[in-house]
Structure 1
Amino acid sequence: MKEKLKPYILLTPVFIVLFSLVSVGMIVCILQSIGYFPIIGLNEITLDYYKEILSDSSFIKSLLFSLSTCAISSIISVIGGVAIAYMLIRDNKYSKIRKSLIRIPVIIPHIVVVLLIFTVFSQSGVLSRFLYSLGVIKNISDFPILTMDKNGLGIVLVYIYKGIPFIALMTFNILKNFSEKLELVAMNLGASKSQAFFNILLPLSMPTIISSFIIIFAFSFTSFEVPYLIGPTTPKALPVEAYIRYASNDLGQRPYAMVINVILSGISFILLVIYNKLFGKIYKYKL
């Protein structure tokens, strides 16, 4: 019993420190979001800040912008990652080499990917200059705006670059545990390779795929550095909007920033609950 409790006892000091920091931060955030900020003379509890934020058109645009860029990038990442994972399963000869290559984008920090996307896809980037040298475009300004644009294409490109390898690795790890006999049995019964994949392998790996989708969606939804560096000035992503309000010289903007943070945390918590429920179902499909 002592040996079993020893790891938990050793981790207790670290847990207490981390829990205290997180708890204090959450309490301060919630209190300021409901109007309790004595430093600037706000002592009354009110929900007016929530009402103002939720009725603010700029907040709605920022929310829709964040949701759309995260949803599009996550869906494309899932499709591309599952396809790559299936190809790795089908070709065992070079699967280890390809799997090692896929790991590289996963370990690269997001800020490095942002610089890479900006260097390649901006109007003054490598691709536009290459097309200009070939005569495809008459002027560099003719190259489409792919970074810092109002549609968030640059943000989507960054998330796709990071998301596809992550989904591929997660799906590969679950697909490789499935016996090849499942596909062979299906083909012996008259199914094609595509039918065996969509009707057998894909449903079995669906809990892992959905949970991976939630992970990358939640991460990109709360990501700050990517939309801050390569996103448009308007509409802003929610984390960027919260940061600008928080860093404002006007301390009266602080409660609004905290409201946005609470909303971000609430959506992330909902995604976490959904993930935990799906994670428990993965074992039902484990062979």
Structure 2
Amino acid sequence: MKKKLMPYLLLAPQIILTVLFMIGLITGITQSLGVIPAFGLKEPTLFYYKEVLSRPDMIHSLLYSLRIALISAVLATAGGVFFCCVCVARQKNRGMMMRIVQLPIIIPHVMAALFILNIFSRNGILARIAYALGMIQEQVQFPLVIYDSHGIGIILAYLWKEIPFIIYFVISLMANINGSLGEAAVNLGAGPLAVFWKVTLPLCRNTIVSGFLIIFVFALGAYELPLLLGATLPKALPVLAYQQYIHPDLRNRPYAMALNGIIIAVSLLSALLYFLMMQKNMKDLTDEAQI
């Protein structure tokens, strides 16, 4: 009897967390549809979604968040894959090099924000070095990187955190492919670049795309870095959602949930695109195996 119950007991924490997550998700969706009986809102409606998608400030926040998430995810993926290629080519994919790569991953995002502030702000290290070297007459002449409307500081912080994630996510697979199929291709006369573009990179594509989608969705829904490093206007979507949530007028809460609903919709769309891509790849592999 005990042996039969053991798997369920081991799964109990996961089941509890899943139930709590689903309760919160369902509550958020119902509130985004304007159903909050405690506030006298009982009829479901799409009014709040229409309002969110028609208000200029919220549209700017949505585009701002999408731009930051997309740019940081693309640059992090490209930088991480390039670094993986260099490490694998030089056989530096183990030992101390990987320990150094792992450090930014375990550091909280709040610490990453402080790190970026201390280096790139107008009172930071780079501004002081430029002033000491006579490159600028005053520290306020240093380019505005933090709190700017383009989100450069946020993107830099994401790159510092996400490039190591992509490296850690991809490098083991890339090293295994390069060590087996890559060497076979070299023995058949292919050059290093041809091996990378025609063998290693295509076989790592699914892993690279999944890593890209993970960091894109995370950057879209993250709150800490846009709050600490972002401009006053436009606000990132999670920051705007939080401000609507804590608004003194409790009837503004459906706006916050509608903003969160948009983030969820984009995340689900990303997951659907990845699922369709995986389905296509599995179909191609099946067809090739039948041939």
TM-score by length of 2: 0.89
Residues 104-126 of structure 1: CA distance to partner in whole angstroms, max 9, x if unpaired? Answer: 11111111000000111011111
Q: Which amino acid aligns with 1:50?
A: Y
Which amino acid in 2 is paired with 1:146? V
Counterpart residue number, 1:41: 40
The answer as to whether partners of 1:211 and 1:275 remain within 8 angstroms in 2 is yes
Partner of 1:99: 98
The answer to whether the Cα contact below 8 Å between 1:89 and 1:95 also exists between their aligned partners in 2 is: no
Report the counterpart of residue 131 of structure 1 in structure 2. Answer: 130
Q: What is the CA–CA distance in structure 2 between the aligned matches of 1:119 and 1:22, rounded to whole Å?
A: 37
Structure-2 residue corresponding to 1:264: 263
| 2:227 counterpart residue number | 228
Structure 2 distance, partners of 1:92, 1:277, is: 34
Deviations 1:156-194 (A, max 9, x none): 001100111111111111112225353344345443211
Q: Show the counterpart of 1:209.
A: 208
CA distance in structure 2 between the aligned counterparts of 1:202 and 1:94, rounded to whole angstroms:
16
The one-letter code of the counterpart of 1:245 is Q
When structure 1 is superposed on structure 2, of 184-193 and 233-242 the one drifting more is 184-193
Pairing of 1:1-287 with structure 2 (within 5 A):
3=3, 6-12=6-12, 14-92=13-91, 95-276=94-275
Give distance in 2, aligned partners of 1:60 and 1:276: 28
Check whether the contact 2:178–2:200 (CA below 8 A) recurs between aligned residues: no
The residue type equivalent to 1:225 in the other structure is: E
Relative distance call for 1:179 and 1:51 in structure 2 (3 A) is: closer
Contact conserved, 2:88 with 2:178, CA < 8 A, in 1?
no
Which runs of 5 or more residues in structure 2 are unaligned?
286-291
Give, as a single letter, the amino acid of the residue that structure 2 aligns with 1:102: V
Closer/same/farther in 2, CA of residues 55 and 108 from structure 1, 3 Å limit: same
Closer/same/farther in 2, CA of residues 232 and 191 from structure 1, 3 Å limit? same
CA shift digits 1:196-230 (9 cap, x unpaired) = 11111111111110000011111111101110111
List structure 1 runs of 4+ shifted beyond 6 angstroms: none
SS at structure 2 position matched to 1:158: helix
Deviation at 1:40, TM superposition (A): 2.7
SS in 1 for 2:123: coil
Q: What SS does structure 1 have at the residue aligned with 2:177?
A: coil
Percent of aligned pairs with the same amino acid: 40
Alpha-carbon contact 1:34-1:46 (below 8 Å) kept: yes
CA distance in 2, matches of 1:21, 1:180: 44
Q: Give the match's secondary structure for 1:232.
A: coil
1:152, 1:232 within 8 Å by CA — same for their partners in 2?
yes
8 Å CA contact 1:89–1:176 kept in 2: the answer is yes
Could you tell me how far apart the structure 2 residues matched to 1:20 and 1:209 are?
A: 31
Q: CA deviation at 1:4?
A: 6.8
Contact kept in structure 1, 2:93 and 2:171, CA below 8 Å:
no
In 2, Cα distance between the equivalents of 1:206 and 1:94?
19
Residue in 1 that maps onto 2:288: none
Instruction: Label 1:197 to 1:248 Cα distance change in 2 as closer, same or farther (>3 A).
Output: same
Contact 1:69 1:152 in 2 (8 A): yes
Unpaired runs of at least 5, structure 1: none
Query: In the aligned structure 1, how far is the partner of 2:25 from the partner of 2:93?
Result: 48
Q: Which moved more, 1:41-50 or 1:110-119?
A: 41-50
- Counterpart code for 1:228: L
Q: Give the counterpart letter for 1:11 in structure 2.
A: L
Q: What count of residue pairs does the alignment treat as equivalent?
A: 282
Alpha-carbon offset, residue 100 of structure 1: 1.3
C-alpha contact 1:30 1:262 (8 A) present in aligned 2: yes
Matched letter for residue 267 of structure 1: V
Equivalent residue letter for 2:66 = L
Per-residue deviation, 1:45: 2.1
